[in-house]
Amino acid sequence: MLNQSFLRKISLPITMLIVLLVGCPISTSLPTQPPTVVATSTFTLVQGVPTETDTSTPLPPTATMSPTPVTPTATFTETPLTPTLTSTSGTSPAMVTPLSAAVNCRYGPAATYLVLGYLMPGHIVPILGTNTPRNWWQIQNPDNPAEKCWVGNPVVVTSGDIAAVPVVSIPLAYVIKVKVVLSATTVHGTCGGPNANMFTGYISTNGPSTVTFHWEIWNTGGSLRNATSDQNLVFASATTLSDYPGAYSTDCGNYTVKMIVTSPNNIEDDEKYSVVSP
């Protein structure tokens, strides 16, 4: 049981404390404005080392990096490997070169003429003349500088003053070869009897032409034995045509067979044969 005198001793202070609390009420409301906090310092990295810096005045930005576009200093233009057609209003000489592959250079300005040589790719040569339609070009024959030949416009490239190229005359085609072929150079027969031999003539031209020719048979002593009348062969292009006059019979002896062209030029060939008794 608690001592009464002890209770009286502790009750008095407690009573006084309660009276003080009741007389002085305690406010429970929070301040309407938050307290102001003044920053003192922060850390900014300068070259990787923490350094204390005053933040009361913000530092201005040191630099702003923006990419600078790179402008090309030079441009390149592809140069064609093959020559191109240039203006004909200039004064440079007219020239010609193959478009791609080697080009036939013909005796005349058409595909019906004989090929004399070839203009090779990469070779650029002067133009000497043209035809009236101006679709063929006359040049010096690359394979024989002593003669001229023609290349067709669709397969070449021209340059220079094409308008100044003169129109030249078209060369006339002619016979370039005559050949007589005998079936036998020695005929074994009977003297006094018919001893037949056969022969064929071949004529070659370098272009379209009409060829006039005839045959002649000569005795060994140099006298004319027989001759045919003139005949014509029509050549539509450069080619070789033949003529067979049939079998010719003679006595024993030695003979000369001639095929003679008289137009458009004079050219002939001959072969000799003999008739002997067995």
pLDDT at 3: 47
Label residue 24 by pLDDT band (50, 70, 90).
Answer: very low
Percent of the chain at pLDDT exceeding 90: 64
Taking all residues of the chain, what is their mean pLDDT, rounded to a whole number?
Answer: 78
Residue 104's Cβ-count burial label (10 Å; 0-12, 13-18, 19+) is middle
Cα–Cα distance measured from residue 270 to residue 272, given in angstroms and rounded to the nearest whole number = 7
Taking alpha carbons only, the member of 258, 262, 264, 156 closest to residue 206 is 264
Q: Is the pLDDT of residue 82 over 80?
A: no
Q: Is the pLDDT of residue 68 over 70?
A: no
* Domains contained in the chain, CATH given: 95-164 (2.30.30.40), 175-276 (2.60.40.2550)
Condensed to tens digits (0 to 9), the pLDDT of residues 182-200 reads: 999 999 999 988 899 999 9
Label residue 278 by pLDDT band (50, 70, 90).
Answer: confident
Q: Which residues pair with 255 in a beta bridge?
A: 219, 273
Cα–Cα distance measured from residue 103 to residue 97, given in angstroms and rounded to the nearest whole number = 9
Please give the distance of CA 38 from its chain centroid, rounded to a whole number: 84
> What would the mean pLDDT of 197-217 be, rounded to a whole number?
98
pLDDT at 244: 96
pLDDT at 91: 78
Structural tokens at position 191: 């003297």
Label residue 17 by pLDDT band (50, 70, 90).
Answer: very low
pLDDT at 177: 98
Q: What is the pTM of this model?
A: 0.66
> What would the mean pLDDT of 221-227 be, rounded to a whole number?
93
pLDDT at 56: 36
pLDDT at 221: 86
Label residue 40 by pLDDT band (50, 70, 90).
Answer: very low
Please give the distance of CA 79 from its chain centroid, rounded to a whole number: 13
Residue of higher predicted confidence among 197 and 35? 197
